[in-house]
Amino acid sequence: MTAVIFIYTAIVTVRNLVTIYRVNSRISRLEEQYELYRNRIEQDSTLLERLTYDEYLEQYAREKFHMQMADEYIYIVE
């Protein structure tokens, strides 16, 4: 009888340890994703703030979308 209780306790303990390991690894991955998204939000906020200035908006449109004035010719060199 004691052996059965010991085996049952060992199985439950191992199962709990596996669950704890899975939860901790999931928490680690979520914390990494949190940091990644916080950095992206910070970069996007900075970009959004810069785009409120007309000079930067024009520069950004020219560089990112290859926009030009009606009487201009743009040559793209990569």
Residue 72's nearest CA partner among 62, 56, 54 is 62
Helix (H, G, I), strand (E, B) or coil at 70: coil
Q: What pLDDT score was predicted for residue 73? A: 79
Q: List, for residues 33-45, the tens digit of each pLDDT value.
A: 999 999 999 999 9
Closest to 47 in 3D by CA, of 32, 34, 61, 68: 61
- Per-residue pLDDT for 63 more than 90? no
Question: Which alpha helices (H) appear in the chain, and where do they start and end?
Answer: 2-50, 54-65
Task: Kindly state the tokens that stand for 49.
Answer: 């703030």
Length of the chain counted residue by residue: 78
Render pLDDT for 14-33 as a digit per residue (tens, 0 to 9). Answer: 999 999 999 999 999 999 99
- Kindly report the pTM of this predicted structure: 0.59
Q: For residue range 41-62, list pLDDT tens digits in order.
A: 999 999 999 999 888 888 888 8
